[in-house]
C-alpha cells in the first residue's frame, strides 16, 4: 500500500507521494527490488490482471500460498495427464520473482502483486529438456492467451524450428523474455533470436556478472541475486540470469498495463529506452542498453525514436549486429546515424520495415572503406564489414517526403568465409606446411566442415587440438593417416577443446577434419582454432645459403621458411624489383626465447637498414628498381620450428601504393606534386575513403594558401587539434562554418553537396543562377539547388549517368581531390 500526503507551499497546492512499499515479512531480503527501483514503480501500479504471463519452465508449486492466488490453469507437456506441478524448483523460483502475492503478510512480494501466471511444464525433473518441448511450450502459451512468456532457460544452438516458433509469437504480438545463460560465453537461444528480449545478470556493484552470457544479442541486465519462492511453500536465495529475466518480464507487464495499446516491439523498445546505462554510453555487448529500471519504464514517455539526436556521425548511436530495434525518420531529409561493432569480418544484413519505402544505407567500415546500397521492400541491404566499428547513415530514398515514417530495423551477421575454403571434402583438403602451426577457421555455411592434409616428412610426435571461442560450436576432430585407421575425438561438451596425441608418427600424409557436432549443421558466428604441434628435427629447405653468393632467390609476396641450426649459421636471401616499390620484409614465427637480426643490402652489398626482434621483426623501405639482399641471423640456434621470411612489394605511383589505375590518379598526383595533399604513413592515399570536414578544410586551406585566421571556439575542437589552424583560416575566409549547436564535427563525413558548397565558396560562386533543376534527385526546395545549377552550368560538376547527383551521399577523398584539381591550375 502507499501513503498519500497533501502539502501546501506558498500559493501552490499539490499532492506528494512516497513510493509504495510492500510489507511482506521477507521484503528486506529482496534487495534486487531496490536496485531496479520497484518501489517507485509501485507508486503508479502494482498489478496487471488483464493479461496472462506464461512461465515455461519446470512447472510451479501449485499450492504455494504466496503464488496460488496469482495462478491460472496451465499445462504439463512432459506428462499431459498431470497438472504442471514443479518437481525441480526452478519454475517456482521464477514465478516468485514475477508475481508472488504482495502485501499479504506472507513471505515475499513479486514485482507484480496481483497477476495471472500460467505455469507450463516443459522441462524434466532434473531441469533438462529439448527444444521440441520448449517450442511446444511457447506455442501453447501463445495459443492460450498469454501476452508475455518468460523463458529462464536456453540452448546453445540455433534451429529453424525454434526460429519459426519465435516468429509465430511475434506475429501474434506476444513478448518473449529470455535469460542469456550463465556460462560466461555467448547468449543462448531463444534469447539470441532478434525479437526476443535477452536479459543478462548484473552484480550488486552495477557491473555485468562475469558468469552472465553476453554478445551482440543482449538487450538488458537485471540483478543476478534474488530471494524468492521455493517448493513446498518455502523461500530461498537463487541467482543467475534465470532470475534476472523474470524481473524484466514483470516490469514489461506493469508497463503494458499502463499502455495496453502498445505492441510487443514497442514494449521492448521502451524497456531499452528507460534502462540505466552502465559503462560506456549506449548499447554494449556485456550490459546491452543497461540495467532494468522499473520506475523509469513506468514514468517516462515512450519515444518514437530513442536514438535521437543522431543526425551526424559524431552523434551516432550504438546498435547490435543481431537484433530488432525500432526508430523513426522525421521526414525524407532526416538522417539517422548508427554504429555497430562487428565481432569478426563478415557481412551485416539490414532488413527494414518502413511500410514499403526504400532506404539508402551509406556504410563506412572499420578500415574507412565506404559503400552505398539501397534497401528495398523485401530486399535487405548487405554491407561487408571488417572486425571493429562500422558506421551507417540511413535516409529514406524519397528525400522530399514530409511526414514521419516509423521503422523497424532487424540486423543480422554472417561470419566470413575462411581462407582455406573450399575444403569441405577430403579430396579438396587444404595442404598445410609440414610444421607446427595454428589455424583459425569458421563454419560459415550449412554443413560446413574443413579438411586439411598434413604431409609428415620426418618421424616425430604429433598433437592436434581444436578449441573454439563460442559454446555454439561443439568441435569434433577427425585424424587419419592415409590408408590407416581413423581417430574420431568428441569427448567434451559445447565449446570445450578436443585434442589427440599421437606419440609417434611416421612419414606420410595425415588428414585432419574439423567439424561441428553432426546434429548442428547451421552456420555459426564464431571461430575455431586448430593447433598442430609437430615435434621433429627439421631440415632447412634453403641450405646452402650461408654466403651472399649462395643467397636463395625469393619470389615477392611468397613465404619462405628456414632454421638457424648451427652456431655460425646465417641465411641469405635475394630479391629483385622492377620499378619503384614500397617494400616490406617480414620475419615472423621466431621461436620463443630467440632474437633474430635482419639486415637489408643493396646490389653493391652496401647495408641499407637493419632490425631485430623476438617473435617478429619488420623492415619497411622505399626502394628503386634493382637487386637486393637480406641477411638473417639469430642469437641462438634452433631446429624444432621454422621462422617465416617474406618480401612484400607494392609499386609506387607518385608517393602512393593504392592509386595506380584509379580514375582520380592524375588529380591526386597533380595536387600531391603541389604539396597540397599528402597520404598516410604507410604510403597509401585511400582514395575511396570518405573525407571528413577536417580533412577537406585543411586541403582547401593549403590549396588557397590561406594565411589569416580568426578566433574560433567550437565545443568539440581544441586548439591542439591537428586541423585547428587551417579550420580557423577557412572560417576567416568564409569557406566553412560550424553548426548551430557550436560544434564543428571535424570527423563528420562531408556529403557531396557539402563538398560542392565548399568549392563554390572558394570560387565565390553565390548560386543565384535561375533555370531548370539539373538533376532528377533535387528540387527547387533543396538548400543547395542554386549552387548545383551554377556549378553545373559552368562545367564544374556533372552527375551520374542516371541523371542524379546524390547530394547526400558521402564524398570520397578522390572525389574531393578531383573537384579541387579543376579549381587549381
Q: Catalytic annotation on 326? A: no
Per the CB < 8 A criterion, the answer to whether 737 and 686 are in contact is no
* Whole-number Cα distances in Å, 215 to 98, 262, 321, 475, 689: 25, 28, 10, 20, 29
Quick one: CA dihedral 686, 690, 694, 700, positive or negative?
positive
Q: Catalytic annotation on 57? A: yes
Quick one: CA dihedral 362, 365, 370, 372, positive or negative?
negative
Which has the closest alpha carbon to 703: 727, 676, 728, 722? 676
Pairing of strands 4-9, 47-57: unpaired
Q: What is the dihedral of CA 611, 612, 613, 616, to 10 degrees?
A: 60
* Annotated catalytic residue, options 43, 57, 61, 571: 57
* Whole-number Cα distances in Å, 712 to 601, 730, 734, 742, 761: 51, 11, 12, 10, 19
* Whole-number Cα distances in Å, 239 to 203, 243, 789: 10, 6, 67
SS3 789: helix
- Helix (H) / strand (E) element for 791: namely helix 785-793
- Rounded Cα distance between 220 and 191, Å, is 11
Per the CB < 8 A criterion, the answer to whether 350 and 381 are in contact is yes
Place of cell 551554377: 790
Give per-residue burial for 348-361: e unless 16+ CB within 10 Å, then b: bbbbbebeebebbb
Q: How many CB atoms lie within 10 A of CB 367?
A: 12
Per the CB < 8 A criterion, the answer to whether 407 and 494 are in contact is no
Cis peptide before 294 (omega within 30 of 0): no
- Helix (H) / strand (E) element for 761: namely helix 752-762
Q: How many CB atoms lie within 10 A of CB 469?
A: 16
* Annotated catalytic residue, options 152, 212, 242, 382: 242
Per the CB < 8 A criterion, the answer to whether 646 and 586 are in contact is yes
- Rounded Cα distance between 28 and 22, Å, is 10
Q: Is 229 exposed, middle or buried (0-12, 13-18, 19+ CB in 10 A)?
A: buried
Quick one: CA dihedral 432, 522, 382, 391, positive or negative?
negative
Which has the closest alpha carbon to 677: 708, 656, 660, 646? 656
Per the CB < 8 A criterion, the answer to whether 233 and 64 are in contact is yes
Give per-residue burial for 530-568: e unless 16+ CB within 10 Å, then b: bebbbebebebebeebeeeeebbebeeeeebbbbbbeee
* Annotated catalytic residue, options 37, 90, 363, 444: 90
C-alpha cell at 108: 515475499
* Whole-number Cα distances in Å, 679 to 326, 658, 814, 824: 40, 10, 12, 19
Which has the closest alpha carbon to 171: 152, 191, 143, 151? 143
Per the CB < 8 A criterion, the answer to whether 703 and 824 are in contact is yes
Cis peptide before 422 (omega within 30 of 0): yes
Which has the closest alpha carbon to 456: 505, 499, 502, 423? 505
**Sequence-ordered list of residues with C-beta below 8 angstroms from that of 291, at least 6 positions apart, any chain:** 35, 36, 202, 206, 220, 221, 222, 275, 276, 278
Q: Catalytic annotation on 604? A: no
- Rounded Cα distance between 285 and 290, Å, is 10
Catalytically active residues are: 57, 90, 242
Amino acid at each position: 500500500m502507499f501513503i498519500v500526503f497533501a502539502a501546501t507551499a506558498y500559493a501552490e497546492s499539490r499532492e506528494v507521494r512516497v513510493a509504495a512499499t510492500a510489507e511482506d515479512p521477507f521484503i528486506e531480503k529482496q534487495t534486487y527490488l531496490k536496485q531496479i527501483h520497484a518501489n517507485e514503480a509501485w507508486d503508479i501500479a502494482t498489478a496487471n490482471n488483464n493479461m496472462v504471463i506464461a512461465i515455461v519452465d519446470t512447472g510451479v508449486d501449485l499450492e504455494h500460498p504466496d503464488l496460488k492466488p496469482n495462478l491460472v490453469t496451465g499445462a504439463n507437456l512432459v506428462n499431459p495427464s498431470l497438472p504442471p506441478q514443479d518437481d525441480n524448483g526452478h519454475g517456482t523460483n521464477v514465478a516468485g520473482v514475477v508475481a508472488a502475492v504482495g502485501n499479504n503478510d506472507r513471505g515475499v512480494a513479486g514485482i507484480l502483486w496481483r497477476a495471472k501466471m500460467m505455469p507450463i511444464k516443459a522441462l524434466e525433473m532434473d531441469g533438462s529438456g529439448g527444444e521440441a518441448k520448449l517450442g511446444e511450450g511457447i506455442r501453447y502459451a501463445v495459443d492460450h492467451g498469454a501476452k508475455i512468456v518468460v523463458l529462464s532457460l536456453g540452448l546453445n544452438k540455433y534451429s529453424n524450428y525454434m526460429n519459426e516458433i519465435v516468429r509465430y509469437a511475434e506475429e501474434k504480438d506476444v513478448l518473449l523474455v529470455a535469460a542469456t545463460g550463465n556460462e560466461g560465453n555467448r547468449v543462448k537461444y531463444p534469447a539470441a533470436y532478434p525479437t526476443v528480449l535477452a536479459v543478462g545478470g548484473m552484480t550488486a556493484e552495477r557491473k555485468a556478472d562475469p558468469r552472465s552470457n553476453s554478445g551482440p544479442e543482449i538487450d538488458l541486465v537485471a540483478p543476478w541475486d534474488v530471494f524468492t519462492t521455493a517448493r513446498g511453500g518455502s523461500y530461498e536465495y537463487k541467482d543467475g540470469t534465470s532470475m534476472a529475466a523474470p524481473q524484466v518480464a514483470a516490469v514489461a507487464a506493469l508497463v503494458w498495463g499502463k499502455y495496453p495499446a502498445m505492441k510487443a516491439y514497442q514494449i521492448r523498445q521502451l524497456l531499452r529506452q528507460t534502462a540505466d546505462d552502465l559503462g560506456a554510453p549506449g548499447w554494449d555487448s556485456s550490459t546491452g542498453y543497461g540495467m532494468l529500471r522499473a520506475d523509469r519504464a513506468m514514468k517516462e514517455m515512450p519515444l518514437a525514436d530513442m536514438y535521437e539526436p543522431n543526425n551526424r556521425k559524431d552523434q551516432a548511436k550504438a546498435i547490435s549486429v543481431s537484433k530488432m530495434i525500432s526508430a523513426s525518420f522525421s521526414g525524407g531529409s532526416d538522417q539517422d546515424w548508427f554504429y555497430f561493432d562487428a565481432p569478426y569480418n563478415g557481412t551485416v544484413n539490414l532488413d527494414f520495415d518502413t511500410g514499403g519505402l526504400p532506404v539508402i544505407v551509406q556504410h563506412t567500415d572499420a578500415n574507412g572503406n565506404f559503400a552505398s546500397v539501397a534497401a528495398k521492400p523485401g530486399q535487405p541491404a548487405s554491407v561487408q564489414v571488417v572486425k571493429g566499428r562500422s558506421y551507417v547513415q540511413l535516409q529514406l530514398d524519397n528525400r522530399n517526403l514530409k511526414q514521419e515514417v516509423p521503422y523497424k530495423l532487424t540486423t543480422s551477421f554472417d561470419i566470413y568465409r575462411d581462407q582455406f575454403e573450399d575444403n569441405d571434402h577430403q579430396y579438396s583438403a587444404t595442404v598445410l606446411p609440414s610444421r607446427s602451426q595454428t589455424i583459425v577457421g569458421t563454419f560459415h555455411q550449412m554443413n560446413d566442415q574443413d579438411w586439411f592434409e598434413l604431409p609428415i616428412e620426418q618421424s616425430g610426435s604429433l598433437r592436434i587440438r581444436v578449441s573454439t571461442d563460442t559454446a555454439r560450436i561443439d568441435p569434433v576432430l577427425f585424424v587419419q593417416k592415409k590408408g590407416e585407421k581413423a581417430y574420431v575425438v568428441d569427448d567434451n561438451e559445447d565449446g570445450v577443446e578436443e585434442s589427440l596425441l599421437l606419440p609417434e608418427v611416421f612419414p606420410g600424409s595425415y588428414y585432419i577434419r574439423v567439424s561441428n557436432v553432426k546434429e548442428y549443421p547451421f552456420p555459426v558466428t564464431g571461430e575455431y582454432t586448430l593447433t598442430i604441434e609437430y615435434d621433429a628435427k627439421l631440415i632447412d629447405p634453403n641450405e646452402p645459403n650461408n654466403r651472399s653468393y649462395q643467397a636463395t632467390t625469393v619470389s615477392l609476396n611468397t613465404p619462405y621458411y628456414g632454421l638457424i641450426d648451427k652456431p655460425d649459421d646465417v641465411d641469405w636471401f635475394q630479391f629483385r624489383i622492377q620499378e619503384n616499390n614500397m617494400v616490406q620484409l617480414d620475419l615472423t614465427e621466431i621461436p620463443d626465447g630467440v632474437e633474430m637480426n635482419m639486415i637489408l643490402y643493396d646490389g653493391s652489398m652496401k647495408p641499407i637498414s637493419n632490425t631485430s626482434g623476438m617473435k617478429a621483426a619488420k623492415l619497411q623501405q622505399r626502394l628503386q628498381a634493382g637487386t637486393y639482399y637480406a641477411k638473417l641471423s639469430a642469437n641462438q640456434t634452433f631446429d624444432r620450428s621454422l621462422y617465416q621470411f617474406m618480401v612484400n612489394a607494392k609499386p609506387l605511383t607518385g608517393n602512393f601504393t593504392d592509386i595506380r589505375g584509379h580514375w582520380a590518379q592524375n588529380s591526386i598526383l597533380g595536387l600531391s606534386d603541389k604539396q597540397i595533399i599528402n597520404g598516410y604513413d604507410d604510403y597509401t592515399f585511400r582514395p575511396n575513403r570518405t573525407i571528413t570536414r577536417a580533412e577537406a578544410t585543411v586541403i582547401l586551406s593549403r590549396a588557397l594558401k590561406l594565411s589569416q585566421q580568426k578566433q574560433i571556439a567550437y565545443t568539440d575542437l581544441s586548439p591542439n587539434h591537428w586541423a585547428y589552424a587551417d579550420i580557423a583560416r577557412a572560417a576567416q575566409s568564409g569557406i566553412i562554418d560550424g553548426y548551430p549547436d557550436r560544434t564543428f564535427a571535424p570527423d563528420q563525413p562531408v556529403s557531396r553537396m557539402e563538398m560542392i558548397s565548399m568549392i563554390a565558396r572558394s570560387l565565390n560562386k553565390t548560386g543565384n543562377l535561375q533555370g531548370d533543376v539539373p538533376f532528377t534527385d533535387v528540387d527547387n526546395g533543396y538548400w543547395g539547388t542554386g549552387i548545383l545549377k551554377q556549378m553545373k552550368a559552368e562545367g564544374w560538376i556533372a552527375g551520374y549517368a542516371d541523371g542524379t547527383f546524390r547530394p547526400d551521399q558521402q564524398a570520397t577523398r578522390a572525389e574531393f581531390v578531383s573537384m579541387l584539381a579543376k579549381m587549381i591550375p
